[in-house]
Amino acid sequence: MEDTLCDFVDAGSGKECSDVKIRALFEHYFLDVHCQHIIFCGSADNGYARVPGSHRGSDRISLVEGPPFACELRDLASDFETISFPKVFRSKKMSRKVSFGGSFGGITTTPVPTPPRTPTPNYVTIAKGNSPISNDISLAVDSPAKTTVTNSLKAELEAALEHSADGDVNLAFPEGGRDAWVCLLGSCFMMFPSFGFQTAVGSVQDYISTHQLAEYGERDVGWITAVLVFLTLFLGVQVGPLFDRYGPRVLLISGSLGSFASYILLAECKKYWHFMLCLGVLGGISAAIVTTVSIAVLSHWFSRRRALASGICMGGSSAGGAIIPLMLRTLFEKYGWTWAIRIVAFMALGCYMVGVLLVRGRLPPGSKNRVTIDLAAFKSPRLCFLAVAVLCFEFIIFGCAALLPSYVRYSGFSVDVQFYSLTVLNSTSLLGRVLPGFAADLFGRFNILLSLVVITIIIMAGVWLPYGSHDEGTLYAVVAIFGFGSGGWLSLAPVCAGQLCDTKDYGRFYGTVYCVASFGVLLTVPIGGQLLQSTTPQVLIGFYSAIMLVGLLSVTLSRWALLDWSWKWKAKV
């Protein structure tokens, strides 16, 4: 590379942030036609072997040998050329500017003191600030003609960087601040009556199965709530790209109006097909829009603290799942079905109005890509295993949410226990959706998710299965622990999916994973209802415990794949 001035970009400190920044810089410079070669090294062994991602094996990337980067080379050397710059690479820092003459072998260095770096709102501006596009720098492009950069080319490259600075490459996440927390609060308001109602839908299903639809069996009534949850998750794969393209505001308004209409119509339902259309179809479509956007918009504001933010957001649904059953218990006795559901509808409308005002996106609209299911994503084993794990989690969570009151009734407990058990489940789920988020940001998202799954399996198989249907106190205890664990699954699974993709693709990845999970949800309530009606409550819990074992295996394999099939107990992933 003759007379070529290299642009050195320091990704900075902080493992969580540097992963994102390095990945973004790889993408940026691979798309830059003027970038002939990327030279990559690290000042410490921090697990950067996975960062090059799809670029592994590229002849445009070389690795710099050196003591601080020694362990990384064992993972990367088979895929990339390795080079040695003895005069450049030192134990702590690299020289800021290097002028290459001839080949890699002959180099001259110009050490420049590195001043203290200050935080910048956009990591593209780091590249721009260090870039050789300035009046006093002459950049020779290594092309056949060996031409130098003209003023017009400088202007063109400046414009490209300026466009990138305002576009998708802006990965400087606020991680807090007024706008970020206000958006998170708005997402909580949106989740309270949408996803919160679904986690409390068991109280509605149990009521209509003993009143309006008393002539139908548990399996038949279960199809209504199954369609509700199925559409909520399945249509997320359609909503994800729409969110990436148009942002949150229009989608939240349309979803809120549809959800409010479904509640108003639900109050007037008398026949089976009424409930299927109003609660199952319209309610499911509307909830898909509201819940997908409410969670996906957090990826605009949080990266390092995304697990915590997602947990708080999902806590809004837990609050709804804890409060709505108590509301319905009182309202059913005092006003009957029609006005009880109408009151819930107007409460939901108030929450939606607040949420629409508070939620806003930060990044500009994305591409016009109409791909809904990202089939290319399933080439990654870690995403496939995570999708299977999420399927198992959703199968159990929504099966319990819909069938817990019926389980209590078949176990011989009172009507009060039917409603209170749901409240206990969702109250502890609120803690489970928030507290693991703190731990996940400290110790790794997959690590905490895996721990919660192990604990929940032990409780389900060791306590709930043999004793839960016989003693009221034991029932409340195991339901509380299960609620905490399941809350952690719900909040951590989306951020684990986000860990496998770039921010601009998060909506589509999130929708793809939950599209797979939706097919499990479609079957969980009818199957569980049939087991309750034809066997015993213990059989249902045993069946769910077996599904949990499959989920545990899938999470383990996904984590293993994320570490490039090199199991590391202490890795923060």
pLDDT, position 362? 76
Q: Which segment, 12-16, 82-86, 190-194, is predicted with the most confidence on average?
A: 190-194
Whether the predicted pLDDT of 210 surpasses 80: yes
Listed residue (447, 193, 488, 511) closest to 312, CA to CA: 488
pLDDT, position 237? 73
Whether the predicted pLDDT of 238 surpasses 60: yes
- Whether residues 144 and 226 share a domain: the answer is no
Q: Are 347 and 225 in contact, with CB atoms under 8 Å apart?
A: no
- Whether residues 206 and 155 share a domain: the answer is no
pLDDT grade for 110, boundaries at 50, 70 and 90: very low
3-state secondary structure of 169: coil
- Whether residues 417 and 492 share a domain: the answer is yes
Listed residue (114, 148, 118) closest to 133, CA to CA: 148
- Whether residues 456 and 508 share a domain: the answer is yes
Least confident of 166-170, 220-224, 337-341: 166-170
- Whether residues 121 and 224 share a domain: the answer is no
| Averaged pLDDT for residues 176-188 | 88
- Whether residues 205 and 307 share a domain: the answer is yes
pLDDT, position 157? 36
The β-bridge partners of 460 are none
Residue listed under structure tokens 């309270």: 192
Whether the predicted pLDDT of 211 surpasses 80: yes
| Averaged pLDDT for residues 181-187 | 92
Whether the predicted pLDDT of 30 surpasses 50: yes
- Whether residues 246 and 102 share a domain: the answer is no
- Burial of residue 392 (CB within 10 Å: 0-12, 13-18, 19+) is buried
Q: Which residue has the higher pLDDT, 272 or 56?
A: 272
- Burial of residue 375 (CB within 10 Å: 0-12, 13-18, 19+) is exposed
Rounded mean pLDDT of the chain? 76
pLDDT grade for 308, boundaries at 50, 70 and 90: confident
- Please say which residue of 133, 166, 199 terminates a domain: 166
Q: Which residue has the higher pLDDT, 169 or 10?
A: 10
pLDDT grade for 552, boundaries at 50, 70 and 90: very high
| Averaged pLDDT for residues 561-565 | 81
- Whether residues 160 and 182 share a domain: the answer is no
Residue listed under structure tokens 């029609």: 338
- Whether residues 268 and 149 share a domain: the answer is no
Q: Which domain holds residue 290?
A: 178-425+441-517+530-562
pLDDT grade for 8, boundaries at 50, 70 and 90: low
- Whether residues 162 and 191 share a domain: the answer is no
pLDDT, position 49? 59
Token pair in block for residue 339: 């006005």
pLDDT per position as a tens digit, 146-164: 333 334 434 433 443 344 4
Whether the predicted pLDDT of 508 surpasses 80: no
Whether the predicted pLDDT of 93 surpasses 50: no
Tell whether 172 is covered by a domain. Answer: no
pLDDT, position 76? 66
pLDDT per position as a tens digit, 318-366: 888 889 988 998 999 899 999 999 999 999 999 999 999 999 887 766 5
How far is Cα 119 from Cα 62, in angstroms, rounded to an integer?
28
| Averaged pLDDT for residues 387-402 | 88
Output the domain CATH number for residue 315: 1.20.1250.20
pLDDT, position 92? 46
pLDDT grade for 444, boundaries at 50, 70 and 90: confident
Q: Which residue has the higher pLDDT, 103 or 293?
A: 293
Tell whether 268 is covered by a domain. Answer: yes
- Whether residues 194 and 124 share a domain: the answer is no
Q: What is the pTM of this model?
A: 0.63
The percentage of residues in the chain with a pLDDT greater than 90, rounded to a whole number, is 24
Whether the predicted pLDDT of 309 surpasses 80: yes
pLDDT, position 44? 56
- Burial of residue 178 (CB within 10 Å: 0-12, 13-18, 19+) is exposed
Q: For the chain, how many residues are written?
A: 573
| Averaged pLDDT for residues 295-302 | 83
Tell whether 256 is covered by a domain. Answer: yes
Domain count, the chain: 2
Listed residue (525, 561, 213, 229) closest to 388, CA to CA: 561
- Please say which residue of 104, 137, 166 terminates a domain: 166
